[in-house]
Amino acid sequence: MNIRKFESKDFEATKYVCLNDMLGKEGYEKIIEYVEIMFCRYYLEKEPENCFVAVDENDKVVGYTYGVKDYDTYQENFADYINAVAELENRRFLSEALIEMYDHAIYKKDYPAHLHIDILPDYQSKGIGSKLIKAFCDNLKEQGVKGVMLIVGSENEGARRFYERNGFSLLQEKPTGAAYGKKL
């Protein structure tokens, strides 16, 4: 398994990993476009330098981590993506909930960056996630970023343990999710 910087040729494969849990499942077809806009397109289009992929021996993308190095810049640039989501039928409430959940103004001084990570189920629990987190965090350190945060579902105990094993500490608990941060 190799961890490398995202390349434009990886766009569709990375999007597939992002959407994998929903594809083909009843009821999810209505939110796939929303998830693609909110959790994929911005990062791959606007900050590809902060995107990393895990690839197998055939260079097939099996996981990724991406995010932003500066939350203020993200908020400024993300308006177009929020507007695209708001135009989707019955999605406005989802984007408003996400904005509230990701409004980490109280953390941005110490944790200006944020990240997302996803790995195909067959490749989970093999150390790939830790390698992706390390690549992402090392990249941020090289850019002078002093901290990164993320949001995880409050009831996702496996993910919470994973982040804690990788040096993240609980910052705040909300009904919608838990904020974790890591100093770099």
Band the pLDDT of 160: cuts 50, 70, 90.
very high
Does the pLDDT of residue 179 top 70, yes or no?
Answer: yes
The whole-chain average pLDDT of the chain stands at 85
Largest CA distance in the chain: 44
Does the pLDDT of residue 6 top 60, yes or no?
Answer: yes
- Pair of tokens at residue 79: 């308006």
Q: How far apart are CA 177 and CA 181, in angstroms?
A: 13
Return all residues near 27 (Cβ < 8 A) that are at least 6 apart: none
How crowded is residue 61: how many other Cβ atoms within 10 Å of its Cβ? 22
Of residues 82 and 17, more confidence is placed in 17
Mean pLDDT of 71-87: 77
The predicted structure's pLDDT at residue 25: 63
State the amino acid at position 119 in one-letter form. I
The predicted structure's pLDDT at residue 82: 73
Mean pLDDT of 136-156: 92
Cβ 139 vs Cβ 52: under 8 Å: yes
The predicted structure's pLDDT at residue 97: 47
- Pair of tokens at residue 83: 């507007």
Mean pLDDT of 21-42: 74
Q: What is the DSSP string of the chain?
A: -EEEE--GGGHHHHHHHHHTTTTT-TTGGGTHHHHHIIIIIHHHHH-GGGEEEEE-TT--EEEEEEEES-HHHHHHHHHHHHHHHHTSTT-HHHHHHHHHHH--TTTTTT--EEEEEEE-GGGTTSSHHHHHHHHHHHHHHHTT--EEEEEE-TT-HHHHHHHHHTT-EEEEEETTEEEEEEE-
